[in-house]
Amino acid sequence: MTILFYKYQGTGNDFIVIDNRNELFPKDNHLMISKMCDRKFGIGADGLLLLEKHSKVDFTMVYYNADGKLGSMCGNGGRCIVHFAKYLNIINEETVFEAVDGLHEASINNEIVSLKMNDVEDIQINTNSVFLNTGSPHHVEMVEDLKNYNVEEKGYLIRNNTYGKEGSNINFVEQVKTNLFAVRTYERGVEAETFSCGTGVTAVAIALFDTNMINANNVELQTEGGNLLVHFNKIGKAYQNIYLEGPAKQVFKGEWEC
């Protein structure tokens, strides 16, 4: 069997993207998915996305982590699959699709994709960190000298020792300017630092606002792979109308023999 795939990246967070509207992809072959994502023996990616049919909205997004297991919501993956849907002429400039955490609205203008995230209400503020779920669980922690920070070691320890088997994504943050913050993320499922994490920067923006680090409801986040914008409204204790904006690009396409 030959599988046609497309390689995408959103601020360096890279994905294998496959049109599975014919439902032929072997979704239970987790070992094959992890091999496809392997950077030395496969295509190489932080995760794999399937675009599938949906009876009521434009399409369904199914996301697998690089370890081959089904993942929680992926913000950059969501932006990339919107670009892919437009490439396939499934959508025009606006769309509604379903992911593991429910329905998402999105729009695309050239290669800039704006993705609406789900509302956030439950925010846990700890002594040195903030924990919240933006479709995926996120630990947010301010640090100094982020450029030289050992994200792999520190992220691994917090991900496993603090959050156990289920784990959490771990975000380390440093202020660059008044409304610009640098973020580096250790992602569960990848079990390594990625160049960017969409749900991660969304969590960082909300955490910064909730702890009075910023007073604006829009913030620019600088990741290793590029900059993303997050804006939102706070109504009571809830964060609503949360949007993640940034570039999504198709890099190449190819065939996988299985």
Instruction: Give the pLDDT confidence of 222-236 residue by residue, as tens digits.
Output: 999 999 999 999 999
| Residue 45 sits in the same domain as residue 74 | yes
Largest interatomic CA distance in the chain: 54
Q: Find the mean pLDDT for residues 13-30.
A: 98
Q: Parallel, antiparallel, or unpaired: how do β-strands 59-65 and 123-125 relate? A: unpaired
C-alpha 254/C-alpha 233 separation (Å) is 41
| Residue 148 sits in the same domain as residue 39 | no
C-alpha 72/C-alpha 134 separation (Å) is 10
| Residue 53 sits in the same domain as residue 67 | yes
Between 165 and 49, whose confidence is greater?
49
Write the DSSP string, 129-189: -EEEESSSEEEEEE-S-GGG--HHHHHHHIIIIITTTT--EEEEEEEEETTEEEEEEEETT
Only one residue has tokens 């437009």, namely: 86
Look up residue 83 and give its two tokens: 């670009």
Binned at pLDDT 50, 70 and 90, residue 91 comes out as very high
Residue 27 has pLDDT above 90, yes or no: yes
| Residue 170 sits in the same domain as residue 71 | no
C-alpha 160/C-alpha 7 separation (Å) is 30
Write the DSSP string, 213-243: S--SSEEEEEETTEEEEEEEEEETTEEEEEE
| Residue 205 sits in the same domain as residue 227 | yes
> Which position among 37, 80, 197, 258 bears the catalytic label?
197
Instruction: State the residue range of the domain holding 218.
Output: 123-245
Residue 105 has pLDDT above 90, yes or no: yes
- Averaged pLDDT score across all residues of the chain: 97
Determine the length of the chain.
258
| Residue 105 sits in the same domain as residue 163 | no
Look up residue 26 and give its two tokens: 């072997």
Residue 165 has pLDDT above 90, yes or no: no
Residue 258 has pLDDT above 90, yes or no: no
Structural domains counted in the chain: 2
Note the pLDDT tens digit of each residue in 113-128. 999 999 999 999 999 9
Contacts 24+ apart (CB under 8 A), 177-182: 179/214, 179/216, 179/218, 179/219, 179/220, 180/219, 180/220, 180/221, 180/222, 181/208, 181/219, 181/220, 181/221, 181/222, 182/146, 182/147, 182/221, 182/222, 182/223
The pTM is what? Answer: 0.96
Give the pLDDT of residue 95: 98
| Residue 83 sits in the same domain as residue 144 | no
| Residue 74 sits in the same domain as residue 164 | no
Asked if 84 and 17 touch (Cβ cutoff 8 Å), the reply is yes
Residue 207 has pLDDT above 90, yes or no: yes
Residue type, 6: Y
| Residue 84 sits in the same domain as residue 97 | yes
| Residue 14 sits in the same domain as residue 37 | yes
| Residue 83 sits in the same domain as residue 97 | yes
> Which position among 37, 74, 80, 258 bears the catalytic label?
74
Note the pLDDT tens digit of each residue in 50-80. 999 999 999 999 999 999 999 999 999 999 9
**Is 74 designated active site?**
yes
Give the domain CATH number at 226. Answer: 3.10.310.10
| Residue 32 sits in the same domain as residue 143 | no
